[in-house]
Structure 1
Amino acid sequence: MIGIVGAGAFGTALAVALGQAEREVTLWARDAAHVDRMARTRRNADRLPGVALPETVTVTAEIKDLSGCAAVLLSVPMQTLAGFLADHRGALDGLPLVACCKGIDLGTGRGATAIIAETCPNAIPAILTGPSFAADIARGLPTALTLACADTAVGARLQPLLSTPALRLYRSEDVRGAEMGGALKNVIAIASGVVIGAGLGDSARAALMTRGFAEMVRFAQANGAETETLSGLSGLGDLVLTCTSELSRNFRFGRALGRGEGFDPAITVEGAATARAVAKRTETLDFEMPITTMVAALIDGQCSIEQAAQALLARPLKEE
């Protein structure tokens, strides 16, 4: 049995995809009324409209129902992961715990697997990340993701368990690289949205994506990641998707920022907290993160779009 924590769009999509592949899935949500509604209607109409839950998916509000699972996928926002694990470590510690969130914790500066390891020391941390939208996964459209786990044997066991005919997982042992790629691409997606929202054009977006990828690689390497991982699905692949699609929440947030418009605060934008977390660390780095720093400044209202663009364009000319 596979457990999934979080009945948002992505958690529900994973439950649908795995359930359609005839896996037994237990989907946990904290709101008992929401659980009851999903159990009765076999729908998650608010988060993933038009998609039915397979009969192999059981919905529950009882965390103890996950204790016997072969693996538990943690589809909760990055900034709430530590608190959730602290509250429920008794039921989850000792299990393979697969983070499905992308970001860096603003309070500690840590990635998801480090938080899992600290909070649930007997668990086996892993991360599932890469270019994907919940609607595509739920509809059975071809999707490829990275499954990173430092424990080779556990990763090899999880790969076929979590793969389906349409959901193809590539295995990696570079957990740090997979985490960094998934986290940092959200920051660059916000910047890409700002570029388009401010009317700076597709050529500017392409340049920003390229230089943003260079920032991602520098930061990931400084945090112990392998360069090759950033060139894969969890880095470059996810960067391309989120910087060019209006389905990306981070891109839409950036576009609203570029247009000077408001954005629904109920929508999770992981890149905003990640930009702030990385910006905090720039003072201790021996290299610069100009795009990430500017994104953090824009989000916090410390500079205007015009000032940010001028600052980036005024940087010294150098070799690529």
Structure 2
Amino acid sequence: MNLNKVCFLGAGSFGTALSVMLAKKGIEVAIWAHSNNTIEDINLRRENIKYLPNIIIPNNINAYSDMECAIKDSKIVVLAVPSHAIRDVSKKASKYINKDQILVTVAKGLENKTFKRMSEIIKEEIPISEVVVLSGPSHAEEVALDIPTTVVVASEDMNAAKIVQDVFMSNKFRVYTNSDIIGVEIGGACKNIIALAAGISDGIGYGDNTKAALMTRGMSEIIDIGVKLGGKRETFNGLTGMGDLIVTCTSMHSRNRRAGILIGEGLSAEEATEKVGMVVEGIKACRAFYELKNKDNVSMPITDTLYKVLFENKDPKYGVYELMSRDKKDEQNIE
């Protein structure tokens, strides 16, 4: 296996941005994509026009339609597809992966119905390889422009995490390790719900006070469900919890926030997703965590309200009214 070659399965914005970052370090990058147009754009025009426009693709990045060819000789294989596609792509890749290759997932979400984390799904489909999760506050647009960014990699195998740390680390892209893979994945998935709610608040026309309240109480919900599922409380105070929440709730790079703004302005979830033009993970995550919180009896009032806005046509303004009108509570003793 060649540590100087990394394969990306998926040619979305974040996978492409990470590819560009690694290529600038002199690493050979292979990208597998299912769209021939995207492959042509990368190989011939040296730009991913659909997902990461105006970023020059270095010559040591090559795109392939043949998954086996892309994976061959790569020490690290990054699954850079949306959460709902992780299982299918893992199944397709399983016949080409060997035990010496390290699998990395950058998807943030839970599988509907099973509530399984991305690393669990990959391990089920490709049990012979170690799985590492890369997560944190990292907009693709900024990573591609070499804007200083910090992320965390987590795994059950810390040796695998450290190899990924070494390969991805640069003076513009700082990588920490963390052994709490559950906490890292739950933080990355659940914060999209709060970002969507923050966007709706912006779309309605509410201010910074409202967003600060949503982020603060939303962080509490993330911690409560994360600890219930086996994550460590301190993980959620780090990059994949608080860090990711801040960047996703406040930036127009965030597709979750952008979709939320459109919903707050009166569009349906489907219309907002179509207008954003990319997968809005917060919508899928809201359904999964709503069902999960009911199953595990965890109080998540923001998630509960957002679910009703997205899937039961509740008026967002009335949802905020209900949240503000709940019974009085003590902040130090909230259940």
Question: Same fold by TM (over 0.5)?
Answer: yes
The corresponding residue for 1:19 is 23
- 1:55 matched to 2:69: no
- 1:5 matched to 2:9: yes
- 1:272 matched to 2:283: yes
CA distance in 2, matches of 1:7, 1:277: 25
Segment drifting more, 301-310 vs 45-54: 301-310
| Structure 2 SS opposite 1:182 | helix
The corresponding residue for 1:202 is 208
Offset, 1:304: 1.2
Offset, 1:201: 1.7
Count of paired positions: 320
CA distance in 1, matches of 2:13, 2:180: 27
Listed as ranges, the matches of 1:232-243 within 5 Å are 232-243=238-249
CA distance in 1, matches of 2:122, 2:273: 29
Listed as ranges, the matches of 1:234-253 within 5 Å are 234-253=240-259
CA distance in 2, matches of 1:108, 1:259: 33
The corresponding residue for 2:179 is 173
Offset, 1:236: 0.3
Deviations 1:283-314 (A, max 9, x none): 22233111011111111134111321122112
CA RMSD of aligned residues (A): 1.3
TM-score normalized by structure 2? 0.92
CA distance in 1, matches of 2:303, 2:135: 21
- 1:40 matched to 2:47: no
Segment drifting more, 59-68 vs 209-218: 59-68
| Structure 1 SS opposite 2:320 | helix
Which amino acid in 1 is paired with 2:6? I
The corresponding residue for 1:287 is 298
Q: List gaps (5 residues or longer) in structure 1.
A: none
The corresponding residue for 2:321 is 310
- 1:131 matched to 2:140: no
CA contact (8 A) 1:116 1:123 kept: no
CA distance in 1, matches of 2:98, 2:214: 41
CA contact (8 A) 1:93 1:120 kept: no
Deviations 1:232-269 (A, max 9, x none): 11110010011111111001111111110342424210
Which amino acid in 1 is paired with 2:323? L
CA distance in 1, matches of 2:125, 2:250: 36
Offset, 1:5: 1.1
| Structure 1 SS opposite 2:86 | helix
- 1:80 matched to 2:85: yes
Which amino acid in 2 is paired with 1:292? T
CA distance in 2, matches of 1:308, 1:38: 44
| Structure 1 SS opposite 2:206 | coil
| Structure 2 SS opposite 1:224 | coil
CA distance in 2, matches of 1:93, 1:79: 24
| Structure 2 SS opposite 1:81 | helix
| Structure 1 SS opposite 2:53 | strand
CA contact (8 A) 2:41 2:49 kept: no
The corresponding residue for 1:263 is 272
The corresponding residue for 1:149 is 155
Q: List gaps (5 residues or longer) in structure 2.
A: none
Deviations 1:95-119 (A, max 9, x none): 3111111111123211100101111
Deviations 1:188-223 (A, max 9, x none): 000101111112221011011100000000000001
Deviations 1:70-103 (A, max 9, x none): 1111110001111111222111353311111111
TM-score normalized by structure 1? 0.96
Q: Which runs of 4+ in 1 moved over 3 A?
A: none
The corresponding residue for 1:212 is 218
Segment drifting more, 212-221 vs 132-141: 132-141
| Structure 2 SS opposite 1:310 | helix
The corresponding residue for 1:158 is 164
CA distance in 1, matches of 2:85, 2:20: 24
CA distance in 2, matches of 1:292, 1:93: 40
What is the percent sequence identity of the aligned residues? 32
CA distance in 2, matches of 1:200, 1:135: 27
Offset, 1:31: 2.0
